[in-house]
Structures are given as structure tokens and as C-alpha cells.
Amino acid sequence: MKLFLASSLVVSSLFSAEVVEVQKRFESSQKCKVCHRRIVEEWSKSWHAKSHFENDEYFRKTLEYVSRKTRKSLNAVKVQCATCHNPRISVTKTDIDYEIAAVMGLTSDDDPVNKAVNSKAISEGINCVVCHNIDKIHDEYDKSKRGINRVEWTPSGVMTGPYKDAKSPYHKVVSHEFMNTNPNKLCFVCHANDRSVYGLVFTDMESEYIGKKTCVSCHMGPKHKDVAATFKMYNGKAKMRMVRKHGFVGAHTPSLWKDALELELKRQKDKLLIKIKNPQPHNIPSGFGSREILVEVVYKKGSTTVGQKTLSLTRHYIRRHKKVGIAHLAVKQSKDTSIKAHGEKIVRLPLVNGAESVEVTLYYRLVNDEVRTLLDLKEQIWSKKNFIVKSSLDLR
């Protein structure tokens, strides 16, 4: 066990990053709300605001599962995952001394690791001082370096944004061109190159991304006229700008799934051909492992159902000793069944005798049955089917 712990911690130490302390007056989004009320209120309903383990059942139970299966302390796993979930954490690595003390129950609340994990400063997850304190993104780094290990921070009190003429009486402001010309660069700091603890890449959204469409055009919506800051600094007025929403809608937002895929049905002799087209710039499903597309097929004779079938397009993961597991512990994964960016997938099914019509409906689920059972996820959001599209075909 000690050998495993030592090797794990040596690897994690290679990915440690320099911490830039955030002054207390900039830690909370509520302080930003004084000038940026609309933005903060939109963000507060987003999943960026829920990226802390206390606010996300899936994340919390994944941490606990990884801790049990790897025999690492829970706080060590939290620090490792904070790379993206809580990148302003004040400790970015654990060592063998801490791990031994944790296993023996000898750590205290004053230990730097325990203080960092339990700090209120990171309780808001991906808040203002994450995205708007990034000074430099290192694209030249190895892809395995993500989140906090891929960026440099501005000094505390220096906020970054897209506007060259922005100013504030409360903090310094600098503009970064990548927020205007290449915002995907910022998104891919974390939303790319997801790897298991054994190095298996189970999602690489950056590599699968095709086209010039930006992430923010969907996930922050189109630009519209509004104020970014309500403070009246421009000749006694707040400045109107072209802004985007900060709700960061995504896979957790049911409305985003409606018509996200296209569906065509065709009869070919005794077969039903189901063509699923993906007009989006990334694969679907994508993101964290075990997300799922459900293809529900219902054969009818008149109004009577004479046959039905449900297909699952998802990934399955095998951990050590050939046991079923989750993506973060995988050493192997099943074939990729996702629909590629700007691509299509054709599914062929036999027709049912006597069927006069067929109806096919696509749904999206955040977690498949296998992983939901492994993690014992209770909240309804993880089993809910989100409607995408429906199509019917007359077979007569």
C-alpha cells in the first residue's frame, strides 16, 4: 500500500502549480455583485457555481469512490480534482507524509491540506476569480496538464476581461485578446483531455472539436446589448456593451437538448435505418464519461404497440482486475459510440412483423445506469431523460 501511495504522490507532485493567493475582498462573488449584478445572478444558477464537491452529488460520490478504490485519503483526491473543479485552492499537491498521517488519523483541522479543502474561499467553485484572473494560458504544455497547471494567474486584485477600455474603482482591469478572438482557448483549459488516474484519455473535447463556432456562442448565448458593470463611471452613466449571458448552459440544461441532433428514418427491405446527424462542433455524447444517448424505437399497428426496443449510446469502463468502474479509474474503455462533430451514425434494426409504422425518439441522460448504480446516485437529475428529437415513418 505504501508503495502505491508513494508512486501516486510522486506523479501528482509533477503536476503541482504555483498558487497566487486571492485577497479576501475578492474571494466572494457577492462582492462582485455590487457592480456586476446581472452577471453574478446568472452565474449563481450555473453548474460552474456548483463545481464544489458539496454542491454536486455526482462529483462528491466520485471523489468518495476514487478514494475507496485507490486507498488514497479523501482530501488527497479532492486536491487532485480541484485542478479543474476548484483551481484557486491554496494547496495543489499532497505528499507521502500527509497521506500516512491521514490514513492513521493523525491530521488536524490546522493542517494546510485540510484547511485548503475546507476553505470557504473555494466553496463557490468556478467563480469570478477563476476565469477573470487568468493571465496566461500555456498551450505549449503537455496535454495532460489541465486546469490550474495550464495557467498563470494575475496578481490578486487584477481582473481580466474582453474590453480594452474597461475600468473600475475597486480593482485593476486588463484585457486579454483571447477572450474575444479565441474564447475556446479558455474553455479548453479544463474542458479537454480528461484522463483517468491511470492516464487513459476518456474524453478529449479539444481534439474532437470541428469548425469555427465558439463554445460561448451556445453555452453563453448570442451577444446582446446590456451593461457588463452597473457602476456609473462613463460620464455619469453605466456603459452599454455587447455582452453574453453567464449562465453557462450545458448538458444539465434540458432546453439546450431540444433539436441538438437530427433524425432521419428510412425503410430498406426488412430493415429500419435510423440516421442520427450531429450538427454540433463536438461529439455527442461528450464531456465526462458515461453520458448517454437513448434511442427509443416503438413499432405500431394502428394505435397498438407491437414491438419496442431501446438502444444506449454510451461508454463503459473497466478498472484494474477487469472490474466494472467509472471513467476516472479506467484502464480500458469500450468502443466510442458517440456521434462525431458534424458527423452522423446509422443504426440498422430489423422490422417487426405486422408493424405499420415506427416512431423513434432520442433522449439524453447525464449518467448511464451502470455508473449511476456504482455511485449510488439518488438525485433525479442523473436519471432524467432529456428530450432531443422525435421522428415517425409509415412502413406500409
Give 325's contacts (C-beta < 8 A, 6+ positions apart).
69, 317, 318, 319, 374
Contact between residue 351 and residue 357 where contact means Cβ atoms under 8 Å apart: no
pLDDT band at 16 (very low <50, low <70, confident <90, very high): low
- Report the C-alpha gap between 208 and 205 in whole angstroms: 5
Quote the CA–CA distance of 346 and 353 in Å, as a whole number.
22
For residues 23 and 339, which has the higher predicted lDDT (pLDDT)? Answer: 339
Question: Is the CB of residue 21 less than 8 Å from the CB of residue 90?
Answer: yes
d(CA 146, CA 141) in angstroms, rounded, equals 9
C-alpha cell at 198: 491511470
Closest CA to 216 of 281, 167, 159: 281
Q: What is the dihedral of CA 255, 193, 189, 54, to 10 degrees?
A: 60
Residue 174: enclosing H or E segment and its boundaries?
A: strand 172-175
Asked whether the beta carbons of 265 and 342 are under 8 A apart, the reply is no
Q: Which residues neighbour 208 within 8 Å (Cβ) at sequence distance 6 or greater?
A: 282, 283, 286, 340, 341
For 147-201, write each residue's pLDDT tens digit: 999 999 999 999 999 999 998 989 999 999 889 899 999 999 999 989 999 999 9
The torsion angles phi and psi of 80, rounded to 5 degrees, stand at -65, -45
Q: How far is CA 340 from CA 196, 261, 278, 279, 343, in A?
A: 22, 11, 7, 9, 5
At residue 139, does pLDDT exceed 50? yes
CA–CA distance, 244 with 222 (Å, rounded to integer): 6
For the chain, the structural domain boundaries read 2-243, 254-394
Q: Distance of CA 321 to CAs 69, 118, 324, Å?
A: 12, 34, 9
pLDDT at 370 over 70: yes
Q: How many other CB atoms are there within 10 angstroms of residue 373's CB atom?
A: 11
Q: What is the mean pLDDT of residues 315-336?
A: 95
CB burial string 134-148: b at 16+ within 10 A, e below? beebeeeeeeebbbb
Nearest alpha carbon to residue 10 among 74, 63, 76: 76
CB 356 within 8 A of CB 396: yes
- What region does 89 belong to: left with phi over 0, alpha with psi -120 to 50, or beta? beta
From the CB of residue 38, how many other CB atoms can be counted at a distance below 10 Å? 16
Compute the distance between CA of residue 392 and CA of residue 100 in angstroms, rounded to an integer: 61
Say which residue, 168 or 274, is predicted with more confidence.
274
Q: What is the pLDDT of residue 109?
A: 86
Q: What is the C-alpha separation between 268 and 346, in angstroms, rounded?
A: 12
Distance CA 46, CA 261 (A): 23
pLDDT of residue 19: 82
pLDDT tens-digit map of 200-257: 999 899 999 999 999 999 999 999 999 999 888 888 889 999 999 999 999 999 999 9
Residue 391 φ/ψ region, left for φ over 0, alpha for ψ in the -120 to 50 degree band, beta for the rest: beta
Angle, vertex CA 167, rays to CA 164 and CA 170, nearest 5? 145
- Closest alpha carbon to 238 in 36, 19, 29, 26: 36
- Find residue 312's DSSP bridge partners: 294
Predicted confidence (pLDDT) per residue in 24-55, tens digit: 889 899 999 999 999 999 999 999 999 999 99
**Residue 386 in this model has a pLDDT that exceeds 90:** yes
- The identity of residue 305, as a single letter, is T
Give the three-state DSSP class for 182.
coil
Q: Are 231 and 365 in contact (CB under 8 A)?
A: no
What is the average pLDDT value for the chain, to the nearest integer? Answer: 92
Average of pLDDT values for 262-274? 96
Length in residues, the chain: 396
Task: Look at domain 254-394 and name its CATH class.
Answer: mainly beta
